[in-house]
Amino acid sequence: MEKIKLGVLISGRGSNMQALIKAGQDCSFPAEVVCVITNNNKAAGLKIAKQAGISAFIVENNPLDADRIHEILVQHKVHLICLAGFMRILKADFLTKWHNKVVNIHPSLLPSFKGLSAQEQALKAGVKITGCTVHYVTPEVDAGSIIAQTAVPVLPNDNIQSLSERILAEEHKCYVEAIRLIAENINH
């Protein structure tokens, strides 16, 4: 079985990217990360990618060079683009070229708490359960079809950091399982 090739777009820490790279190193996992692209030359995730021997690229951020991103992804024969803490919005013309081939992870149970600071939004709303969502990316932010979700409890003494950490641990597993699901469907 040929592995599905993943291109990961990051802007920062890169812990979800790292979880996908690690999953891909297992020969039984149906996908592998073949390139990492960032709009931020200071992204900590760049170092992680390079250490793992994955080709990593920095693209112009102002304005975002979406044509260059497209070119790198095509050169690497990417089947599926994984946004992992990518802090720029991809425009409709890019998403049209990659229709149903761009997925994202968001730290809430969508459709609740779209946009930035989803964990803080959950705390402020006083919900007792939040979580994470892997979804397809459409021009409307955090609104595409849902692929996988994991629920995470909000505990009485939580602050943004403690809640974010609890969600993040689940994000890593949820993202890997969502990619497995998609890759297995593509392979069949």
Q: Please report which residue ranges of the chain form alpha helices under DSSP H.
A: 15-24, 44-51, 66-75, 92-97, 118-125, 160-187
Q: Give the residue with the Cβ less far from ligand GRF, 10 or 33.
A: 10
Quick check: 181 and 152 in contact, CB under 8 A?
no
Q: Does 16 help bind ligand GRF (rule: CB under 6 A)?
A: yes
Task: Specify whether the CB–CB gap between 16 and 51 falls below 8 A.
Answer: no
User: Which region, judged by CB under 6 A, interacts with ligand GRF, from 12-20, 64-72, 89-97, 144-152?
Assistant: 12-20
Q: Which C-beta is closer to ligand GRF: that of 149 or that of 186?
A: 149
- Catalytic-role residue among 70, 79, 99, 106: 106
Q: Can 70 be counted among the known catalytic residues?
A: no
Q: How far is the CB of 54 from ligand GRF (least distance, A)?
A: 15
Say how many C-beta atoms besides its own lie within 10 A of residue 122's C-beta: 26
C-alpha 142/C-alpha 59 separation (Å) is 23
Residue 24 Cβ vs ligand GRF, minimum distance, rounded to whole Å? 15
**Footprint of ligand GRF on 96-155 (CB under 6 A):** 105-107
Residue 175: name the closest of 9, 1, 19 by CA: 19
| Three-state DSSP class for residue 46 | helix
Instruction: Pick one of 24, 30, 85, 131: the residue that binds ligand GRF (CB under 6 A).
Output: 85
> Rule CB under 6 A: is residue 70 a binding residue for ligand GRF?
no
**Nearest partner of 59 among 76, 77, 71, 44, judged by Cα:** 71
Determine if 15 is a binding residue for ligand GRF (CB under 6 A).
yes
Residues near ligand GRF (CB under 6 A) are: 10, 12-16, 84-85, 105-107, 168, 171
Catalytic residue annotation = 106
